[in-house]
Structure 1
Amino acid sequence: MRLTSLLVGFVAAVLATTAWAQDVWVSDKRTPGAFAIAGAEILHAEGDFPVVGLAAGDLRDDLGAVLGKAPSLSTGKPSGKTAIIVGTLGRNPLIDGLVRDSKLDVGDLSGAWESFVIAVVDKPAPGLDKALVIVGSDRRGAAFGVYELSRAAGVSPWTWWADVKPQRRKALYVAADARRFGPPSVKYRGIFINDEDWGLQPWAAKTFDPAYGDIGPKTYEKVFQLLLRLKANTLWPAMHEVTKPFNADPANAALADRWGIVMGSSHAEPMLRNNVGEWKAGAEAFNYAANPGGVLDYWRERAKTNGKYESIYTLGMRGIHDSGMVGGGDIDGQRALLEKIITDQRGLIGQHVDPKVETVPQVFTAYKEVLDIYRSGLKIPDDVTLVWPDDNFGYIRQLPNADERKRPGGSGVYYHLSYLGAPLSHLWLSTVPPALVIEEMGRAYDLDARQLWVVNVGDIKPAELGTQLFLDMAWDVDHVRGLGAHGYEEAFARETFGPSQARAIAQILADHHQLNFERKPEHLQWFWGKGSTPRSSPLSVEQANARLARFDALVAKLDTEAARVPAEQRDAWFELVDYPVRDAALANHRFFDAEAFDRLIGERPDEAHARAAKARAADAQIAALTRRFNDEIAGGKWRGIMSVEPADGAWTSFRQRPFAAPAADAAAPRLAPSPAEDEGLIVVEAETADGQGWRRIDGLGRGGASMAAGDVREASTGGAALDYAVKLPAGAWALDLDLLPTFPLNGQTALRLAVSADGGAPVSVAAPRKVSDKAWAQGVTDGRLRVGSGLTLCGGERTVRVTSVDLGVVLDALVLRPAGACGR
């Protein structure tokens, strides 16, 4: 039984949402003073940065795809009556002349970071009647302005990476009033390509660039272009053993510089070094305590070769491949060793990059065990950016305190949309909910973690929605937060597929994210401790059937919308919506239909075998859809990009077991049973109460929304309370709380709140939070922490008050379970 309100959040969000852009400044309707794009040539200066010319070339192709005829592109003098002039302030003589002659007002653009102005100018030069001027404060600002025009004209950032075709237009007009964009909310914004073994690397090696046979310049150029279309500027490149190290081929770094991309490296790869592919002396020798000269020479080489490029240097040290640091001994010794390492690394930067070391971007990422070393008192130079990690499942482990927020180097975040590791990986369908990304990254922004945001996107596909959300938020955090998760989903659908289906597609995406938040398709395996044998789920057949019915209803909506998708968008529809949503549903059918066989084979064998057949059919459908993705979509363009998780027998301790369907003649269960999940629960959704100092989060939680305590920018929550009126059947009812598995923001080791019943004294409730323990493992796989309150309520009309103690607590539901007879 559930006591809940109508889920109105989705409706409210989509009604408030118009287009992705805050105003429609490019349209097919002429307005007074507007600039007509058709017939205009594109001009850029020969002496400008290379990335400006590259972006201008993409603009030519983009406008050609929209209008049916590509404009001409030139670095010479205007040859027609109208022109689109693009360039960097101070690097384009024509633009600089317009500014000097007061024909173009750029305001405070000079010296700004990655900003741009787009303006219509009348009579800009002799013989030129009208121009659309795109001027950037720097090289990336100019490029971002060019791609902003493409996006406003209807060209998706995913035009190449997800085959999103722009709608053809007979004409396009740019509104006359000038627009200023930037600076971005976050200075450095980018992605980390990781765990590329099962998608990007085989696709690049065998399909996209077989002559190179790996992820190389041709592939990276497409990545760089995508980053600029998404107004990102930073890349941590692929780094597994299967891939040739990025800097092993000098063409990669030179190409990144041409595209204006700032190269960095992951938390495990200090000083732009790919240890897995470049360190040749063995893991034991990668020990600064025992071999400082050898390691320092290794780092020195990269500082020399790449010092001329714009880079972000990762400081510190871990093991060869995402493992703990070798040497140092206990935590005190490790801390002292790390401080020595960082001092010596900065010495190399001063020698080979810039003697003003404090002006060179440097980061220290407190990932996994390094966070414990940092918490023990590790001293990091004030100009170095502290990068805070999530727990690999979307929950940020720590954010800067008041003193850390004063540091000139600032803070950043390393986040995950994809992960290979314990307790179970999520590498396949990218189902981290948009609402979780917005909530966690919003907290980070509010606490001034604004210097660098990097997100692990795995193989890029199928993480397109999450990647765009993360980077759109890094560019304009207030706009994305204003939309909310459901508003963003609709904006994404509108921009990608047009307005007629946007709301229906957004509802599909919302349902998809909610269902898979309860259990990811890669986590359909239950375990009861590290190294334990997988068991069946704790759901009864009836409970599992109810979950499958929700997936079936979702697929019915998917089928309805699929029939309406225009032919030219069917590849994009399959890649961005159909494949991830349908396969998530099939993965659940595969698992729970097979589990139903286990549960029913003894008493209802015919029904059991029918369910086994359904499981086998679902498995076959997943395989068929994946073959379609790899072999048919976009004419075979993506051959090798998609693998069903688990893809192979590698890293088995971090991945669920490959699916084994019951044989047609099977007569016994396959898995040992699990403890049954309590039935007869009464669940009261947290969002059914409204309390001062609490904030509703739509799209996050098992009931469709949740309640967050306090504003992280405040010193405390002030004891904000939520009050619930509950009518209970006769008997005793134990009260539990379902919390989201977030982390406390105040240095505590537990999430804390207080609960009282019927006006009684409040009882303190604490949920310990320690990464790698059993509670954490179950929390990230279940999408919740169930915490006992210690209170028991008798049947009848009761009141429950939940009071915040710590900032950052997110309440999903009150759960009341039968507890026998009620004593008086």
Structure 2
Amino acid sequence: MKLLECIVPGLLLVFILVSCQQSTEKELHVVFSDTSGAMPLVNKEFVSSILVDKGDAEVVSIVANAVAGDINHITGKKPSVIHNENEAGATVIIAGTIGRSKYIDAFISEGKVDVSAVKNKWECFSISTVIKPFDGVDKALVIVGSDRRGAAYGLFELSRMSGVSPWVYWADVKPQKRDELYVTDGTFISNEPSVKYRGIFINDEDWGLNVWAGKNIDTDVKDIGPKTYALVYELLLRLRGNFIWPAMHDSTKAFFYYKDNPVVADKYAIVMGSTHCDQMLRSNTFEWQKNFVNEYAEEPKPYRYDINKKQVFRYWDDRVAETKDYESLYTIGMRGVRDGGIQGPKTEEDKIALLDTIIKDQRGIFKSHFGGEDQVAQLFCPYKEVLGLYDGGLQIPDDVTLVWTDDNYGYIRRLSNPDEQKRKGSSGIYYHLSYLGSPHDYLWLSTISPSLISYEMTKAYQFGADRLWVVNVGDIKPAELETEFFMDLAWEAEKWNPQNVSEYLTYWANKTFGTQLASDIAKIKKEYYKLAQTGKPEHLVTATYDKQTRTERLAASEKMLEMVNDIKPKIPEHLLSAFFQLVEYPVKGMALMNKKICYAAMSFEVLKSNPQKAKLFSKYSKDAFNEIHAMTDFYNHNIENGKWDGIITDSPRNLKVYGMPDVAVREVVEDQSLYKQEYDTRYIHRDAPFELNIAKSKISLLADQYVDKQDSEGNEIITVKGLGLDGHSISRYPFNTPSYSNENYKSAPSVTYSISAEKGNYDVSIKCLPSRSIHKGRKLLLALVINDSKPQFFDVNHDRKDGKWKKHVLQGFAEAKFHLNIQKEGNAEIKIYLLDTGLAISRIDIDKHNEKKE
């Protein structure tokens, strides 16, 4: 059999795509039948052991045992993890860290492995075959880590090559069964990761992860504890992550309350941190409000540094003393106990002065424990109101990492300007895949598309944000795909750029479900993200859709349901649980939520003219409501014999959108209590719903339907598939090129459209991604020229304080509106100049001007 025919089909694309990470030496592969010269890992007679040095970092043994379990999943035969070379057979897997493994160091000194490509680098690894590593051993597969995490990633790379998904536990993506495993001669050498610290924030865990962990994993404490975190840490390592902001909501006791939590984190080589509102590795909601009296035998005074410095300082100093021997990343500064502003000073000037004192004192704590203010990694997160204080003049030490944030809806608020890009501490990003707060939560399903993540995070990376990427994943489930993409991008930031990101869904589906199903599954997910762009399922009560838009949403929903039902019988039995979790539940949940809301509204519209149809629409709404609950019950109680009991809810915080909407014919809803739910009204945006028309106009142009394009030096106009309205947007690329002024707009890249229309006045809307300007001094400016008229300039950037921002993030687009006068029937030329990067145009809608609207 030829070599490539032996590679698992679903992974062939993986090997092609990772080739940019490998050296020019002969490429190493895992194959599934005996190939000339290949080393057997598992065959009919033999299983290679995994040899690690007991003196190496503990994570190496932990991951070696996990990989042994992976091989057992595939072949039914489990390798032994050994610590003595005399126990090895004819072939052996050897894994270890440079400077910590006696086996690896011996191979280096004897010239048996070349580590020059990975030595003294951050989290790198090499995988190669070695002839006669020891007396009596014919061949070894040697995995070398530049550090302890590099060794762990190298071991898990072997699992990846063998067909094991990072989600083998967390989404039951079971590997294809194989009788044999072999590895071909060659070398695999990783590059250093693009971003130094790459991690997740478990947040708003009250309704899922906390419930599940207490019921099924940490049953002794009925909480998220060390056993749950061990599973999370393993997932992080499989995703090549290294960092965590642990859960910190009211439902969960603080991370450090359970003394084994940080111990287990260190064993798994995971770097600990604390959120933007929990400085110095503290968790204020629990540790200050609930447990302070138990820890200190005294009642806490107000969490204010201006009047209660003694208690607050001690509280911080004690945590640093407790964690000084662990690998940690400390958040500095101060906010309120919960996610609110600093308490005490009333003016911006006084708040800045107090924060300046606080940061100096925190740095003093570091000096006392680490020997220098800059001898431990620190970050400062200008989140929400803190950004205003930073822009108001707050000075942050140069070695501290500035962690910029998105606006909670996936659009980054700002990035480093040229001076900030020179900082020793560089910068990072805190990003959201899940959010609780105004203008409305989205805690149920994960709908931030890979295309949007790539667009925003590539922009961030090009502006120097390479020190930390941390993503709010809510309960982890059901944000598996989006989390994996975020971590893949953090590992290799230039691999999935906006120009090729649309290929990721096929890549992901291919390695998760196999080549034959990949294209169809990718199409389903593309439809899912496209529909969510103009209304997340959690946001469907914030907008009143016009009839045409509603009809189009229902058609898209029915199409998604049909696509899922058509492909499900083709899913291999061992992947049915994974398919339900990763595709069926979120896609059907989205579609059914649209049906529930839309049919309820339609039932009232036809009540007088067609009572029978009103009854039918009322029933359709109720059926969708019931089916969502049935799917959720199946998720919690039927998958893998109840493994996920409690992990998912279809009504987090029991918000109104999740309930049964009012319908015209209420007798079709037998249980009238469905209308009497008690809703958690905290944080809910209370503005009246706005009418939303997303349907295409009589003349609608997708942004990439231009007749001419003019790039400029160093600037290219690209199409980003899967981004924005209708799944097509154009933008300037790369992002880190200068803006153009009004005076030199003609030098900017441009696109030209041609329309044919009768004489008259028209209303034109240029619909854009609701992104934000990159930093102070830049805008999201476009210039519009119709035929040979004077240019009109539009800035579609809207700050969070701007009332338009809330509408834009909920409807999925911002827009520039203007009037067009066509003086004679025929063609008209519309030319748009893109003066700023970060501006993404999705569609141009043109309607005959309605004088009555004026």
TM-score by length of 2: 0.89
Of 43, 53, 62, which aligns to 2:51? 43
The alignment partner of 2:570 has SS state of: coil
Q: Is the 8 A contact 1:746 1:806 kept in 2?
A: no
- Report the equivalent of 1:598: 604
CA distance in 1, matches of 2:499, 2:783: 32
Distance 2:48 2:14 in 1: 33
- Asked if residue 66 in structure 1 is aligned to residue 66 in structure 2, the reply is no
Tell me by how many angstroms 1:677 deviates. Answer: 3.6
The aligned counterpart of 1:498 is 514
Residues of 2 paired with 1:497 and 1:729: CA distance? 51
Partner of 1:811: 841
Query: Cα 1:719–1:86, aligned 2, differ >3 Å: closer, same or farther?
Result: same
CA distance in 1, matches of 2:333, 2:537: 35
Describe the shift of the 1:772–1:604 C-alpha distance in structure 2 as closer, same or farther (beyond 3 A).
Answer: farther
8 Å contact from structure 1 (residues 424, 656) kept in 2: no
Is residue 34 from structure 1 mapped to residue 38 from structure 2 by the alignment? yes
**SS of aligned partner of 2:337:** coil
Equivalent of 1:141 in 150, 154, 162: 150
Quote the residue 2:5 is aligned against. Answer: none
2-structure distance, mates of 1:384, 1:564: 52
Alignment-mate amino acid for residue 459 of structure 1:
D
Structure 2 residue identity aligned to 1:218: K
Secondary structure of the 1:133 match is strand
Contact 2:28 2:186 in 1 (8 A): no
* 1:534 counterpart residue number: none
Question: What is the SS of the residue equivalent to 1:573?
Answer: helix
How far is 1:759 from its partner?
2.1
Which one-letter code corresponds to 1:571 in the other structure? Answer: S
In 1, Cα distance between equivalents of 2:739 and 2:33? 51
Deviation string 1:286-306 (CA, Å, 9 cap, x unpaired) is 111111111111101101111
**Residues 358-391 of structure 1, C-alpha deviations (whole Å, 9 max, x = no match):** 1311000010000111111110000000000000
Residue among 519, 530, 538 paired with 1:522: 538
Distance 1:673 1:279, change over 3 A: closer
Runs of 5+ consecutive residues of structure 2 not aligned to the other structure: 1-10, 20-26, 293-298, 669-674, 676-686, 741-746
Q: Is the contact made by 1:486 and 1:506 (CA closer than 8 Å) also made in structure 2?
A: no
Q: Does 1:449 align with 2:465?
A: yes
Name the counterpart of 1:712.
735
Mapped contact 1:164–1:572 kept (Cα < 8 A): yes
Q: Secondary structure at the match of 1:788?
A: strand
In structure 2, the partner of 1:389 is 405
1:539 maps to 2:556:
no
Measured in 1, the distance between the counterparts of 2:822 and 2:667 equals 47
- Could you give the per-residue CA deviations for residues 497-527 of structure 1, whole angstroms, max 9, x where no partner exists? 1111011111111111111111111110125
Counterparts of 1:466-505 in structure 2 under 5 Å? 466-481=482-497, 484-505=500-521
Give how far 1:666 is off.
6.8
Q: Once the two structures are superposed, what CA deviation does each residue of 1:601-634 show, in whole Å capped at 9, x if it has no partner?
A: 2322221111010000000000000000001011
Please state how far the C-alpha of 1:17 moved relative to its aligned partner.
8.4
Decide whether the 8 Å contact of 2:771 with 2:797 is kept in 1. no
1:103-118 matched pairs, under 5 angstroms: 103-118=112-127
Q: Distance in 2 between matches of 1:792 and 1:285?
A: 63
Counting only pairs closer than 5 Å after superposition, residues 691-770 of structure 1 correspond to structure 2 as: 691-692=710-711, 693-716=716-739, 718-748=747-777, 750-770=779-799
Equivalent residue letter for 1:153? S
User: Are 1:55 and 2:63 counterparts?
Assistant: yes
What aligned pairs does 1:196-595 form with structure 2 within 5 A after superposition? 196-280=205-289, 285-352=302-369, 354-481=370-497, 484-526=500-542, 537-540=544-547, 542-595=548-601
In 2: Cα distance, 1:501 partner to 1:678 partner: 32
2:381 touches 2:402 (CA, 8 Å); kept in 1? yes
What one-letter code is carried by the residue in structure 1 that aligns with 2:738?
A
CA contact (8 A) 1:710 1:716 kept: no
In the alignment, which residue of structure 2 is the partner of 1:796? 826
2:779 touches 2:797 (CA, 8 Å); kept in 1?
Answer: yes
Q: 1:357 Cα shift?
A: 2.7
Tell me the C-alpha RMSD between the 2 structures: 2.3
Contact 1:394 1:415 in 2 (8 A): yes
- Any idea what SS the aligned residue of 2:119 has? coil
The code of the aligned residue for 1:538 comes to Y
Q: Secondary structure of 2:159's match?
A: helix
- Residue 682 of structure 1 is matched in structure 2 by 699
The residue matched to 2:796 in structure 1 has which SS? strand
Mapped to 2, the partners of 1:675 and 1:233 lie a distance apart of 44
The CA distance in 2 between the partners of 1:200 and 1:144, in whole Å, is 26
Query: Which residue identity lines up with residue 599 of structure 1 in the other structure?
Result: E
- Answer yes or no: is the 8 Å Cα contact 2:203–2:475 preserved in 1: yes
- Higher RCO (Cα < 8 Å, 6 or more apart): 1
CA contact (8 A) 1:20 1:495 kept: no
Q: 1:228 and 1:343, CA in 2 relative to 1: closer, same or farther beyond 3 A?
A: same
CA contact (8 A) 2:132 2:138 kept: yes
The CA distance in 2 between the partners of 1:742 and 1:16, in whole Å, is 32
Q: Distance in 1 between matches of 2:463 and 2:338?
A: 31
Sequence identity of aligned pairs in percent? 39
Contact 2:761 2:819 in 1 (8 A): no
Q: Distance in 1 between matches of 2:81 and 2:274?
A: 36
SS where residue 412 of structure 1 aligns? strand
Q: Secondary structure at the match of 1:478?
A: coil
* Secondary structure of the structure 1 residue equivalent to 2:525: helix
Contact 1:710 1:720 (8 Å CA) reproduced: no
CA distances 1:158-189 after superposition (whole Å, capped 9, x unpaired): 00000110001122222311111131000000
Q: CA deviation at 1:21?
A: 4.0
Residue 52 of structure 2 aligns with an amino acid whose one-letter code is H
Q: Residue type matched to 1:34 in 2?
A: A
Shift in Å, 1:355: 1.0
8 Å contact 1:195–1:458 — kept in the other structure? Answer: yes
Letter in structure 2 aligned against 1:630: N
Distance (Å, rounded) in 2 between the aligned partners of 1:135 and 1:256 = 22
Post-superposition Cα deviations, 1:317-344, rounded to whole Å, max 9, x if no partner, equal: 1111111110222111111111111111
Partner SS for 1:46:
coil
How far apart are residue 16 of structure 1 and its match? Answer: 9.2
8 A contact 1:699–1:705 mirrored in 2: yes
Q: CA deviation at 1:435?
A: 0.1
Once residues 687 and 483 of structure 1 are traced to their aligned partners in structure 2, the CA distance between those partners, rounded to angstroms, is 13
Give the letter for the 1:129 counterpart. D
Cα deviation for residue 678 of structure 1 reads 8.6
SS at match of 2:831: strand
Distance 1:747 1:434 in 2: 27
Cross-structure match for 1:776: 805
Size of the aligned set, in residue pairs, is 792
Q: CA offset at residue 796 of structure 1?
A: 2.9
- Conserved? CA contact 1:283–1:320, under 8 Å: no
Q: Secondary structure at the match of 1:276?
A: helix
Work out whether residues 313 and 361 of structure 1, in 8 Å CA contact, stay in contact via their aligned partners in 2.
Answer: yes
Give runs of aligned pairs for residues 158-197 of structure 1, distance below 5 A: 158-197=167-206
Partner of 2:621: 615
Per-residue CA deviation, residues 753-787 of structure 1 (Å, 9 max, x unaligned), is 11010122211112241114321111111110122
Return closer, same or farther for 1:24/1:74 CA change in 2, 3 Å cut-off: closer
Q: CA deviation at 1:544?
A: 1.2
Judging changes above 3 Å, is the alpha-carbon distance between structure 1 residues 645 and 688 closer, same or farther for their aligned structure 2 residues? Answer: farther
What TM-score comes out, normalization by structure 1 length?
0.93
